[in-house]
Structure 1
Amino acid sequence: MKKIMFYCQYLSGMGHLVRSTEIVRNLVKDFQVYFINGGPEIAGFEMPSQVELIRLPALWLEEGKFTVGDNQSVEDVKEIRKNLLISEFDKIKPDCLITEFFPFGRHKLFFELIPFVEHIKNTSPTTKIVCSLRDVIGKESEPEEEEIICNLMNRYFDLLLFHADSNFQQFSESFTRHKDIKSEIIYTGFVTQSPKNYANDASPLWGDVTETAKILVSVGGGRIGYELLETVIKASPILAKEIPHFIKIFTGPFMPEDKVRQLRQLADGRLGDRSNIQIETYTLQLLEYMKTADIALSLSGYNTIMNILSTGVRAIVVPVGHEKQDQEQLVRTQKLESLGLVDYILPQNLTASHLVQKIISGLNKNQSWRKCKFDLHGAETTSFVLKNYLSHKAIF
């Protein structure tokens, strides 16, 4: 069985980890997989049991600066991580390294990634290096940065796996210098989370909620999105005058505790016992909640959108960015809205009254027209492509 190392680093949210995990879930059927996790631990998050987990000392961004665990310095952690990557590679000797998002992003991690791929090329030239890339890069690159990306791709990488349906997003739309990339570019389709057997009765998830609109609200990892959750709570009393409803909110594991506390206090102040709002941090059953909800409110990151497409739930999304120039969610959202697959509110237009109007309008829409025709089998296709590629067979 061939061996794959998969490098994943999530610096702000958890979307990169979720997508990578779904890919790995399929890779373990055909490969021995070693998963390099460089982000903070997430309580309750499950990695497939067959995966060998290599945990680097955690590193993440807060207010644009690297943050590490207690009693550690950033410089010490950087050095440890750089050396650990190389030593683990030498020990495992994988047939393939997959880097998630790098070199199209993760340039803040050059301190470890450049020595890592350089070491591989120098000591193990037969090891294939593959880039795993989402549909929309988002941030517009400067010419100098695009030049760096092209040079890195052409110097170190053998294959680019683009996790999009070509009918939705072309690689040329994501990267202007696409013609300068020499490696083969494969469209895998969208990577979606593994479907589960949904119960027809939603009561185990939602409790005793009958003849009431079930509204699911989530914001991914939770480092961004507080404003949406706050607005939902403020909108609930207004909405209650029109529609009986129950709101389930997931703040995400990275939302600061003081922010979660503020949301709970706001809900208490608005609704007394909060009988129609529940606030939790994280769930492994988000897909099940989405499948059984009457409407879902969220940001429009890659994985959330995939959940919306795969479950067919009515959806209102708020496209936000980790940085002002980050247009990833907006690009994806506007395309989906033009196809009638989601409705959206721009962050600057997010008010309680406007949100109530959108919710009422969304609940009145028929779900049957929300059939998604995109390829949602990106994880399976990724495994199929790599199995053939590493066996020197035709990819398709």
Structure 2
Amino acid sequence: MTPRVLFYVQHLVGVGHVFRASRIVRALRGEGVEVDLVFGGVPIPGLDVADAPVHYLPPVRAGLEVFNRLEDADGNPVDDAYKDRRRDLLLDIFEKTRPDVVVTEAFPFGRRQMRFELLPLMEAAKTRRPRPATVVGSVRDILQENAKPERDREVVDLIDRYFDHILVHGDPGFVRIEKTFPHGGEIADKLRYTGIVAPEPPVPATGEAAYDVVLSVGGGAFGHRLLLAALKARRLSVLADARWVVLTGLAATPAQRAELEALAGENVTFERFIPDLPARLAAAKLSISRAGYNTTADIYTAGCRAIVVPLSDGIETEQITRAALMNEKGLAIAVDHENETPEAIAAAIDRAMAGPAPDRSMIDIGGAGKAARMLAAIARDEDLPV
């Protein structure tokens, strides 16, 4: 009988983890596993999940003004009736698909707001008869640090109660989960490292699509300051005359775009989004970006020099930790988040171009395939691959 996986994904603000999950889903299909993707956020056009069916729940997102408040796609607060409808649909999908494995992306380390539907799903998976479904958590390698220690304790309790395995999508030689989760030792027997979930090695872009410098900020919601500083740094650096492409992100406003274009000068092209970012990076001399998981995975697989400037909003810690580790291990040059200035970025550009391209051959970027092989083995009740 063909093994079956139910993969739950909920995006609240950013969508990077959705693309990480989609890479794993595609790899699972390549392993001959049936996959049902449950999607709880605002739909993303063109999301590639091979031929896996996508089950859309009524969408929710984080509040635009109050993060902990859930809103529907139109910005209306989500009430109990809306939550009940989502929960019932999720449980109905579970009953109809009869999966061997249930995978929750981020939960229980994140997505705390979704406990109203995930805890009933966990209960259904563990109490199903005659055979319970195996429950697996899927989480990135560096976590956002909790300001409330009791939340970390709660995570351990949920893992002890419901989860059979936790797939950590990182290379333990780069960072272990204990770096940002203080109780990692207590769940060590359930942790399985997959490597970085990176895209397939790209064919470098050519011709007019090839640029010397790729300046990007993901979705763009928190990137305008970096774009401004980097464009000002351009004039001060050894790459002042190089061809730059600036990816403003889909969240950039017309006023922000106009402000950036006023700084651009010659040899600068603006795009909101490009689907083939790894191919552009593979052709580039330099990437300048934030330090999110997916962005750095693209950098690793492309092989280009890189400058990372972590997002800092007084709460965010994940990117600051990743950027510092990348700098320490020679994988990129990090600009301190408290010094996001044209002068600091120009100095980083000059440093990056004066030295050799980083050797990233030791970091494991085969996480999609390894995660898929692990999940396939779990679904078939086989020993996990090393």
Q: Give TM-score scaled by structure 1 length.
A: 0.89
SS at match of 2:192: strand
Determine the C-alpha separation between the residues in 1 that align with 2:263 and 2:314: 32
Determine the C-alpha separation between the residues in 2 that align with 1:33 and 1:56: 16
Question: Is residue 108 of structure 2 the alignment partner of residue 103 of structure 1?
Answer: yes
- Which of the residues 306, 320, 334 maps onto 2:297? 306
Q: Which residue number corresponds to residue 246 of structure 2?
A: 249
CA 1:338/1:73 → structure 2, altered by over 3 Å: closer, same or farther? closer
Determine the C-alpha separation between the residues in 1 that align with 2:254 and 2:160: 48
Tell me which amino acid in the other structure corresponds to 2:247: F
Determine the C-alpha separation between the residues in 1 that align with 2:263 and 2:188: 58
- Which of the residues 228, 231, 234 maps onto 1:233? 231
Q: Which residue number corresponds to residue 389 of structure 1?
A: 378
TM-superposed deviation, 1:56: 1.9
The worse-fitting range, judged by mean Cα deviation, of 356-365 and 341-350 is 356-365
Tell me which amino acid in the other structure corresponds to 1:164: G
Are 1:15 and 1:221, in contact at CA under 8 Å, matched by a contact in 2? Answer: no
Are 2:4 and 2:379, in contact at CA under 8 Å, matched by a contact in 1? Answer: no
Are 2:204 and 2:280, in contact at CA under 8 Å, matched by a contact in 1? Answer: no
SS at match of 1:357: helix
**CA offsets 1:65-87 (integer angstroms, 9 cap, x no match):** 33322285411542332221111
SS at match of 2:338: helix
Are 2:218 and 2:249, in contact at CA under 8 Å, matched by a contact in 1? Answer: yes
TM-superposed deviation, 1:239: 4.4
The worse-fitting range, judged by mean Cα deviation, of 283-292 and 356-365 is 356-365
- Which of the residues 313, 325, 342 maps onto 2:315? 325
Q: Which residue number corresponds to residue 35 of structure 2?
A: 33
Q: Which runs of 5+ in 1 are unaligned?
A: none
**CA offsets 1:24-75 (integer angstroms, 9 cap, x no match):** 11011221111112222334x4323311111222222223133322285411
SS at match of 1:361: helix
Question: Is residue 167 of structure 2 the alignment partner of residue 174 of structure 1?
Answer: no
**CA offsets 1:339-390 (integer angstroms, 9 cap, x no match):** 11111112321112322222222222222x4333111111111111122222
Q: Which runs of 5+ in 2 are unaligned?
A: none
Are 1:158 and 1:183, in contact at CA under 8 Å, matched by a contact in 2? Answer: no
Tell me which amino acid in the other structure corresponds to 2:363: F
Are 1:138 and 1:331, in contact at CA under 8 Å, matched by a contact in 2? Answer: no
> Counterparts of 1:49-68 in structure 2 under 5 Å?
49-61=50-62, 62-63=64-65, 64=67, 65-68=69-72
Determine the C-alpha separation between the residues in 1 that align with 2:295 and 2:59: 24
Determine the C-alpha separation between the residues in 2 that align with 1:263 and 1:239: 23
Question: Is residue 52 of structure 2 the alignment partner of residue 48 of structure 1?
Answer: no
TM-superposed deviation, 1:275: 4.1
**CA offsets 1:313-345 (integer angstroms, 9 cap, x no match):** 111111114x53331111111111111111111
Tell me which amino acid in the other structure corresponds to 2:100: D
Determine the C-alpha separation between the residues in 2 that align with 1:392 and 1:264: 53
Determine the C-alpha separation between the residues in 2 that align with 1:230 and 1:77: 41
Q: Which residue number corresponds to residue 264 of structure 1?
A: 257
CA 1:18/1:89 → structure 2, altered by over 3 Å: closer, same or farther? same
Q: Give TM-score scaled by structure 2 length.
A: 0.91
**CA offsets 1:282-306 (integer angstroms, 9 cap, x no match):** 2210000111111101110111111
Determine the C-alpha separation between the residues in 1 that align with 2:348 and 2:240: 13
Q: Which residue number corresponds to residue 13 of structure 2?
A: 12
Are 1:4 and 1:96, in contact at CA under 8 Å, matched by a contact in 2? Answer: yes
CA 1:91/1:300 → structure 2, altered by over 3 Å: closer, same or farther? same
Determine the C-alpha separation between the residues in 1 that align with 2:169 and 2:263: 42
SS at match of 2:253: helix
Are 2:227 and 2:260, in contact at CA under 8 Å, matched by a contact in 1? Answer: no
CA 1:267/1:148 → structure 2, altered by over 3 Å: closer, same or farther? closer
Determine the C-alpha separation between the residues in 2 that align with 1:146 and 1:71: 30
Question: Is residue 73 of structure 2 the alignment partner of residue 69 of structure 1?
Answer: yes
**CA offsets 1:131-150 (integer angstroms, 9 cap, x no match):** 01111112135331122111
Determine the C-alpha separation between the residues in 2 that align with 1:277 and 1:39: 34
Q: Which residue number corresponds to residue 215 of structure 1?
A: 213
Q: Which residue number corresponds to residue 346 of structure 2?
A: 356
Are 2:5 and 2:379, in contact at CA under 8 Å, matched by a contact in 1? Answer: no
CA 1:40/1:291 → structure 2, altered by over 3 Å: closer, same or farther? same
TM-superposed deviation, 1:215: 1.1
SS at match of 1:99: strand
Are 2:42 and 2:60, in contact at CA under 8 Å, matched by a contact in 1? Answer: yes
CA 1:151/1:363 → structure 2, altered by over 3 Å: closer, same or farther? same
SS at match of 1:161: strand
TM-superposed deviation, 1:191: 1.1
The worse-fitting range, judged by mean Cα deviation, of 229-238 and 129-138 is 229-238
